[in-house]
Structures are given as structure tokens and as C-alpha cells.
Amino acid sequence: MYKIEYVGIEENNKYEETISKVLEKCFEIEGIPNEKLLVSIMLTNPENIKKLNKEYRGIDRTTDVLSFPMFEKDEIEQIISEKKWNYDDILGDMVISIEQVELQAKEYGHSFERELSYMVVHSFYHLMGYDHMEEEDKKKMREKEEFVLNQMNILR
């Protein structure tokens, strides 16, 4: 389950369609009923994401996506293995800068849909407790991200 909030940008059904498809696939692949855990998504502009980046990470610059997980990796793994779903559990929050997604899509030479899909998958796995600070962790996270996108036929 997810909810989308627009802050500083216009609402857009295409964004919501892409996000919905990607999250459904992420939940399916991870074996989580998507109506059990809430993902809150803020779609915003560079100014707002910069403020949040500074406030929560101490980094005074814009970025493409921020992720705020509600569980540690071992906690979410336990919830999944024991199937202890609570209808009011929040998996976490995603903040995505739509303008940055547009810029990166052009920079990397692929579609806006592909870049937005990647941001959603990337953030989802942060919410699931994955990270990319260490090379081994980065490898695991990238494999999961690419698997989801490949399953959806969203290629580079």
C-alpha cells in the first residue's frame, strides 16, 4: 500500500502509474502482501529535497532520492519470515525529486519512466534495510534492484 504526496510540483497520473507498478512488483518479489505495509512517497522539487537532505543528513545539497526506513534490516526480515503484518505498519518514507529524475534520465540516456522506476526500487530496498556504503552490500542491493527492473522489462 502506498500514498503519494506532491510538494512543490504538479500532480501527475503517469508518475503514480509508474510508482504503483514498481512497488507492486517489489512487494511481490519480496513476498510481502502490498496491502499490509504502507510506503509514503513525497514527489517534490530540488529545493524541498535539499532542505530535507540538510535537516536529516546534514548535507546541504540537492539529491535525487531520500529514504527513511521505519525498521532495521533484521526487524523487517523477522516480520517477513513470521508474516507478522500489521495493517498500520509503515515500511518507510521515500522522497523523490522529479526534476532530478528528469535530469538523470537525460544524463544516462534512458527514459524518464526507467529513471523513476529505478529511484522507487532503490528507495524500496533502502526501506528494506539494504545499503550501498560497503562494496559487498552495494553488490547485493544492485542485484535486487536490477532483478526487479528486469522482471518488469524496464531496461537501460
pLDDT at 57: 95
What is the Cα 23 distance to its own chain's centre?
A: 8
Q: Is 144 helix (H, G, I), strand (E, B) or coil?
A: helix
pLDDT at 88: 64
Tens of pLDDT, residue by residue, the chain (156 residues): 899 999 999 999 999 999 999 999 999 999 887 677 889 999 999 999 999 999 999 999 999 999 999 988 888 888 778 777 665 678 999 999 999 999 999 999 999 999 999 999 999 999 999 988 788 888 999 999 999 999 999 987
What class is the 2-151 domain? alpha beta
pLDDT at 48: 98
Between 112-127 and 135-151, two packed helices, what is the crossing angle to 10 degrees?
130
Q: Note the pTM of the prediction, 2 decimals.
A: 0.93
pLDDT at 135: 84
pLDDT at 156: 73
pLDDT at 90: 85
- In this structure, how many other beta carbons lie within 10 angstroms of the beta carbon of residue 136? 8
Domain ranges of the chain: 2-151
Amino acid at 126: H
